[in-house]
Amino acid sequence: MQDLIVVATLTAKPGHEAVLKAALERIVPLSRAEDGCIRYDLHADLANPASFVMLEAWRDADALARHEATPHFHELLKTVGGLVEVQVVKLNQLL
C-alpha cells in the first residue's frame, strides 16, 4: 500500500502572518502523534514570508480522514479561517 502524500500551501493575508505561523506550529506535534501519521513537516517559503508549506505523509486515506476530524485540526480551521488562502494537493508516489 502506498502512503498518501499531502502538500498544503497556506498563505496569510497581509497582517496575519504571525497568527498563521503560530497556529501551524501548534498543530505539528499533535498531528505527528496521530496513528497513521508518517510525516508532518512545516516549512517556510523563502520567497514569501507569508507563505508556509506543510508536507504530510499518511498511511492511507482513512488516516488522513481521521486527522481531518480531530479537534486540533478543527481548531486550526477556526483560528485561520478567512485569514489565509489554502491550496491542498494529494499525491501518491509513482517511483
- Predicted confidence at residue 1, as pLDDT, reads 59
CB atoms within 10 A of CB 50: 18
- Predicted confidence at residue 2, as pLDDT, reads 78
Residue 5: which residues within 8 A CB-CB, separation 6 or more?
A: 55, 56, 57, 58, 90, 91, 92, 93
Q: What are the structural domain ranges in the chain?
A: 4-91
User: If pLDDT is split at 50, 70 and 90, which confidence band does 93 have?
Assistant: confident
Fold of 4-91: Alpha-Beta Plaits (3.30.70)
pTM of the model: 0.93
Query: What b/e sequence results for 64-80 when a residue is b if at least 16 CB atoms lie within 10 Å of its CB, and e otherwise?
Result: bebbeeeebbeebeebb
pLDDT tens digits along 8-26: 999 999 999 999 999 999 9
pLDDT tens digits along 27-58: 999 999 999 999 999 999 999 999 999 999 99
Decide if 7 contacts 86 (C-beta within 8 A).
no
